[in-house]
A and B are shown apart, each in its own frame.
Chain A
Amino acid sequence: MSPADSRAPGAALDIRSITKRYGDTPAVDAVSLDIRAGEFVTLLGASGSGKTTLLRIIAGFADADEGSLLVDGQELRSVPVHRRDIGMVFQNYALFPHLNVEQNVAYPLRMRGMRGPERRRRVAEALEAVHLPTFGRRRITELSGGQQQRVALARAIVSRPRLLLMDEPLGALDRNLRDALQLEISRLSRELGLTVVNVTHDQEEALTMSDRIALLDRGRLVQFATPDDLYHRPVDDTAAAFVGESNLFRGSVRDDGTLDGADGVVFSPPSLVDGSAVGSGRVAVMVRPSLVRITAVGSAPEAHSRVDGHVSGIVYAGDSRKIIVTTASGTELIAREDAARPLDVSVEQPVTLHWDARSSIVTRLAAGSAGATAPAPETRRTVRA
Chain B
Amino acid sequence: MNAGVSVRVVGILIAILLIVPTIVICATAFTSGSSVTFPPQGFSLRWIDDVLGDRRWMRAFGNSFSVGLLAALFAMIAGAALALGAARARGAVASVFTAVSVLPMIVPLVVGAIGFYLVYARLGLTGNVLGLAIAHGVLGLPYVFVNVLALLRTLDPRIEEAARVHGAGQLTTLVTITLPLLAPATVIGGLLAFISSWDEVVVATFLSDARFQTLPVLMYGQIRSGVEPSVSAVALVVTVVTFAVVLVVFSVGPIRARLARRSSRP
Contacts and interface: CB of A to CB of B under 8 A. Distances in A.
Interface in B135-183: 156, 158-159, 161-169, 172, 176-177, 180-181
Interface in B54-83: none
Contacts of B166: 82, 86-88, 107-108, 111, 155-156, 159
Interface of A: 59-61, 80-84, 86-88, 90, 92, 94-98, 107-108, 111-112, 140-141, 155-156, 159, 165, 172
A92 B168 contact: no
B265 interface: yes
A155 B181 CA distance: 19
Contacts of A98: 180-181, 259
B258 interface: yes
B162 A96 contact: yes
Interface in B249-266: 258-259, 262-263, 265-266
Given A98-B181, A98-B259, A59 B266 contact: no
A111 B258 contact: no
A94 B159 CA distance: 5
Nearest to A88: B165
B165 A141 contact: no
19 contacts: A88-B162, A90-B162, A92-B266, A94-B158, A94-B159, A94-B161, A94-B162, A95-B162, A97-B159, A97-B259, A97-B262, A107-B166, A108-B166, A111-B166, A111-B172, A112-B167, A140-B262, A141-B262, A156-B166
A114 to B, nearest CB: 10
Contacts of B177: 96
Contact of A94 (B156, B168, B172, B258): B156
Contacts of B162: 88, 90, 94-96, 155
Contacts of A108: 166-167
A82 B168 contact: yes
Interface in B222-266: 258-259, 262-263, 265-266
A1 to B, nearest CB: 18
B169 A82 contact: yes
Contacts of A88: 161-162, 165-166
A97 B181 contact: yes
Given A92-B265, A96-B177, A81 B158 contact: no
B145 to A, nearest CB: 21
A156 B165 CA distance: 9
Contacts of A165: 165
Nearest to B179: A98
Contacts of B158: 90, 92, 94
Most chain A beta carbons < 10 A, residue from B159, B165, B259 = B165
Nearest to B159: A94
Nearest to A81: B164
Contact of B165 (A81, A96, A140, A172): A81
A343 B121 CA distance: 95
A61 B161 contact: yes
B243 to A, nearest CB: 29
A198 to B, nearest CB: 15
B20 to A, nearest CB: 42
Nearest to A60: B165
A59 B163 contact: no
Nearest to B262: A97
B4 to A, nearest CB: 37
A140 to B, nearest CB: 7
A10 to B, nearest CB: 15
Contacts of B258: 141
A82 B165 contact: yes
Contacts of B181: 97-98
A88 B166 CA distance: 8
Most chain A beta carbons < 10 A, residue from B166, B177, B181 = B166
B17 to A, nearest CB: 42
A92 B156 contact: yes
Given A82-B164, A83-B167, A155-B162, 17 more contacts: A59-B165, A60-B164, A61-B165, A82-B168, A87-B165, A87-B166, A88-B165, A90-B162, A94-B156, A95-B162, A97-B181, A98-B180, A98-B181, A107-B163, A112-B167, A155-B166, A159-B166
Most chain B beta carbons < 10 A, residue from A86, A94, A108 = A94
A159 B166 CA distance: 9
Contacts of A141: 258, 262
Nearest to B184: A98
Nearest to A98: B180
Given A90-B162, A94-B156, A111 B180 contact: no
A119 B263 CA distance: 26
A84 B258 CA distance: 33
B165 A97 contact: no
Nearest to B258: A141
A80 B167 CA distance: 10
Most chain A beta carbons < 10 A, residue from B167, B181, B258 = B167
A235 B159 CA distance: 39
Contacts of A90: 158, 161-162
B168 A111 contact: yes
A180 B173 CA distance: 33
A112 B165 CA distance: 12
Contacts of B159: 94-97
Interface in B75-109: none
Most chain A beta carbons < 10 A, residue from B158, B162, B163 = B162
